[in-house]
Amino acid sequence: ADDGAGVGIVMAAASLIKDLPLPPKRTIRVVLFGAEEVGYFGAKVYQQLAVGTLDKHVIAAESDFGAGRIWAIASRVHEDKVPAFKNLMRVLEPLGINYRNNQGRGGPDVWRLGQNGVPLASLMQDGRDYFDLHHTADDTFDKVDPANIRQNVAAYAAFAYLMAEVDVDWRSANVSN
């Protein structure tokens, strides 16, 4: 559940998008960060490599809380853009996901991007049993519920595709990029 599920979720979501008949307008970047729990080394290296291009990052999100069912999404966008974000995220409602608030943190590896102006989103998972497995020998793939993985993959694929398609600058009150 810890890290392996998140890797599988984002890779499967990217694969779904790749297999669509029409690609999205913008590039979707999938980053597999390493060494989070020993100093966020992967996140720090990514941020160094991305210097000078952070203004091209439309939004960042991260799957790093196991494979529990996603129940809500939170944004961290310009206040004027919250209604547009909330409206777009209605596409996730059939998956049992509702908009929560504009206090999204992105995740442990991407929140620093937010400190540098990149809008963030948090797809919030049910983590009630996450710490029962986290960093234990029982943290094995057989503990992951396939239905939850499918719901996570669908949510991340829909979210990423929409963010790559819409002409919205989530940073400011301006209407388009």
Which residues are the active-site residues? 36
Q: State the Cα angle at 156 between 162 and 123, rounded to 5°.
A: 105
DSSP lists the bridge partners of residue 73 as 99, 123
Distance between CA atoms of 69 and 151, rounded to whole angstroms?
7
**Hey, what amino acid is at 152?**
N
Angle between helix 146-165 and helix 4-18 axes, rounded to 10 deg: 50
N-terminal to C-terminal alpha carbon distance within the chain: 37
Distance between CA atoms of 15 and 64, rounded to whole angstroms?
19
User: What is the layout of strands, in order, in the sheet containing 120-125?
Assistant: 98-99, 70-76, 120-125
Distance between CA atoms of 28 and 160, rounded to whole angstroms?
7
CB 76 within 8 A of CB 101: no
